[in-house]
């Protein structure tokens, strides 16, 4: 039976990291909340149900048979071995999970550039703080994270991937990270990414993989927009 993925229907958000893994693996899945109002109702019922032994706190979550698995990194930890998106050894599996948790940290920092005070406030109500947060993020935090992934790629000499000699789910997540940063901060990223050629090469290599390229060209790929995690507010981008 196909997996059931539950995530907000109008944004890429954290659910996109799971979608990319499912698409690369050609794993059949239903994006439940995108099936109209009934899908959204089904997602909300699961979140609010008192009958779930292991209830999710928030989307994304994935149903696989009797399992209901929440949290992006946790879902990918489950999917990776089932679909050849992680090496077989314990150390490599744990390292893949470690990399994905680092991606999770970066995603949160991206979100906080436009909502640095509270998610209960609109961006327009915290614009000044968002500008300050974004300046620090672009100057210090993006280089720190991308520099780390660049070093991991360099250590895996000549392979072109983060772990071993073939693609793993953290590679797909780095593709999404770079794509999202380019959307949110196009001027800044033109300058910043020059220092991380291996990260850029990984992104470009994944973009042309047949299953990913087909997904990116399909209506299943939701466009970036100003409701998701990666948002383009010109005032937050670098001026040069």
CATH label of the domain that carries residue 30: 3.40.30.10
Q: Which of 192, 195, 143, 199 is nearest to 170 (CA)?
A: 199
195-215 confidence digits (pLDDT tens): 999 999 999 999 999 999 999
38-72 confidence digits (pLDDT tens): 899 999 998 888 888 888 999 999 999 999 999 99
Domain housing 110: 90-209
Flag whether 222 is in a domain. no
Question: Does 126 lie in the same domain as 23?
Answer: no
164 touches 99 (CB < 8 A): no
Flag whether 236 is in a domain. no
196 touches 149 (CB < 8 A): yes
Q: State the greatest distance between any 2 C-alpha atoms of the chain, in Å, as a whole number.
A: 53
CATH label of the domain that carries residue 204: 1.20.1050.10
Question: Does 130 lie in the same domain as 53?
Answer: no
pTM of the model: 0.96
Q: Which of 61, 53, 75 is nearest to 31 (CA)?
A: 61
Question: Does 72 lie in the same domain as 128?
Answer: no
* For the chain, percent of residues with pLDDT exceeding 90: 90
Flag whether 240 is in a domain. no
Residues 101, 104, 108: CA angle, nearest 5 degrees: 150
């Amino acid at each position: 039976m196909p997996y059931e993925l539950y995530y907000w229907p109008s944004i890429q958000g954290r659910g996109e990291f799971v979608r990319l893994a499912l698409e690369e693996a050609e794993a059949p899945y239903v994006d439940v909340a995108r099936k109209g109002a009934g899908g959204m109702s089904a997602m909300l019922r699961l979140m609010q149900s008192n009958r779930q032994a292991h209830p999710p706190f928030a989307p994304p979550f994935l149903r696989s048979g009797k399992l209901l698995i929440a949290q992006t990194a946790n879902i990918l930890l489950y999917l990776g071995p089932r679909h050849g998106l992680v090496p077989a050894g314990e150390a490599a599996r744990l390292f893949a999970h470690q990399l994905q948790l680092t991606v999770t940290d970066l995603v949160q920092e991206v979100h906080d550039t436009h909502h640095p005070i509270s998610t209960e406030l609109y961006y327009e109500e915290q614009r000044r703080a968002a500008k300050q947060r974004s300046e620090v993020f672009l100057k210090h935090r993006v280089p720190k994270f991308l520099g780390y992934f660049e070093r991991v790629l360099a250590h895996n000499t000549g392979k072109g991937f983060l772990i071993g000699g073939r693609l793993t789910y953290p590679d797909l997540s780095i593709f999404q990270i770079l794509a999202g940063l380019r959307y949110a901060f196009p001027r800044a990223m033109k300058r910043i990414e020059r220092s991380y050629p291996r990260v850029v090469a990984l992104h470009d290599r994944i973009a042309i993989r047949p299953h990913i390229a087909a997904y990116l060209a399909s209506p299943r790929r939701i466009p970036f927009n100003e409701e998701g995690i990666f948002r383009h507010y010109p005032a937050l981008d670098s001026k040069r």
